Amino acid sequence: MTATIIDGKAIAQELRGNIAIAAAKLTKEHGIVPGLAVVLVGSDPASEVYVKSKSKAVTEAGMKSFDHKLPADTSQADLLKLIEQLNADKTVHGILVQLPLPSQIDSTLVLNSVDPGKDVDGFHPVNAGRLATGQRALVPCTPVGSVILAKKMHASLSGMDAVVIGRSNIVGKPLAQLLLAENCTVTVAHSKTKDLKDVCRRADLLFAAVGRPEMVRGDWIKPGATVIDVGINRVPGEGGKTRLVGDVNFKEALEVAGAVTPVPGGVGPMTIACVILNTLRAACASAGLPEPKV
């Protein structure tokens, strides 16, 4: 058996096109141009690449991008002052503070200072609480993108057994909440889970968000299951270069699963698309408009 490879790049491209159409409609009918402010402190190369691709995606969707690049020795007080300004700025609908922040800055304090209505990363406790209680919320982008990919394979996820490996606030926990809202029976596995392989083998939908290269082997997967690989791991490649692999052994998964996401080209592109989706959603909510249909 060879699994379907879920083309996250193509699905993200289609989503970005739909977001651009919805953003143009918002501008035409309500005079609102959604705006995203991205704050980068320091010059971590991976963060710089990520921030650039976000800004490009925002501009391509017909939205405004405001980039704030601060030196690595920026004080916590100065960063908080900038966030206060962005919170008050009516042209800014989304604020994204790129992590990790330098050690002199308390990340939790900074993330909690973002207006929850502009929190396009969905990390603020108000948004986490709203998600958990089924209220309109800004939800972390990677879990949203992961569920969209699963739904491309299944018209309904209702009643399916979903296993999420990983319980971080950024991926595992919000992903579990989204799957519950889709009426899945959800198991959250983590570093202390016993018999992880057997737990995984029960899954109709298996999500791996661990950060361990190719940890999930072929015999951890129920035949025909849909496997969404969130992991991004850099491992040594040919000629002294590094290459990216996921948390799932892709080759083995292809032999057993019904569908599987590749790394790169699976969840990664969806995360970027969902940043602009959340910016659009935040802009609509700020104007008292219903959720945009994309």
Residues serving a catalytic function are 54, 98, 121
* Token pair of 264 as six digits: 């790169």
Residue 271 engages ligand NAD in binding (rule: CB under 6 A): yes
Nearer to ligand NAD, 87 or 233 (CB): 233
Contacts of 211 (CB under 8 A, 6+ apart): 166, 231, 232, 233, 247
Contacts of 238 (CB under 8 A, 6+ apart): none
Q: Are 210 and 247 in contact (CB under 8 A)?
A: yes
Residue 94 engages ligand NAD in binding (rule: CB under 6 A): no
3-state secondary structure of 37: strand
Alpha helices in 67-217 (DSSP H): 76-88, 107-112, 125-132, 141-153, 172-181, 196-201
Contacts (CB under 6 A) with ligand NAD, residues 190-219 = 190-191, 193, 196, 209-212
Residue 266 Cβ vs ligand NAD, minimum distance, rounded to whole Å = 7
Residue span binding ligand NAD (CB under 6 A) among the ranges 35-43, 85-93, 99-107, 263-271:
263-271
Residue 189 Cβ vs ligand NAD, minimum distance, rounded to whole Å = 6
Nearer to ligand NAD, 6 or 165 (CB): 165
Residue span binding ligand NAD (CB under 6 A) among the ranges 56-64, 109-117, 168-176, 280-288:
168-176
Residue 158 engages ligand NAD in binding (rule: CB under 6 A): no
Residue 230 engages ligand NAD in binding (rule: CB under 6 A): yes
What H or E segment, with its residue span, contains residue 28? helix 8-30
Say which DSSP state 91 is in.
Answer: T
* Token pair of 262 as six digits: 């590749």
- Give dist(CA 198, CA 172) in Å, integer: 19
* Token pair of 119 as six digits: 């929190």
Residue 57 Cβ vs ligand NAD, minimum distance, rounded to whole Å = 13
Contacts (CB under 6 A) with ligand NAD, residues 4-43 = none
Binding-site size, ligand NAD (CB under 6 A) = 24
Which of 182, 185, 254 has its CA nearest to residue 216? 254
Nearer to ligand NAD, 182 or 247 (CB): 247
Contacts (CB under 6 A) with ligand NAD, residues 127-146 = 142
- Positions touching ligand NAD (CB under 6 A) are 142, 165-168, 170-172, 189-191, 193, 196, 209-212, 230-233, 267-268, 271
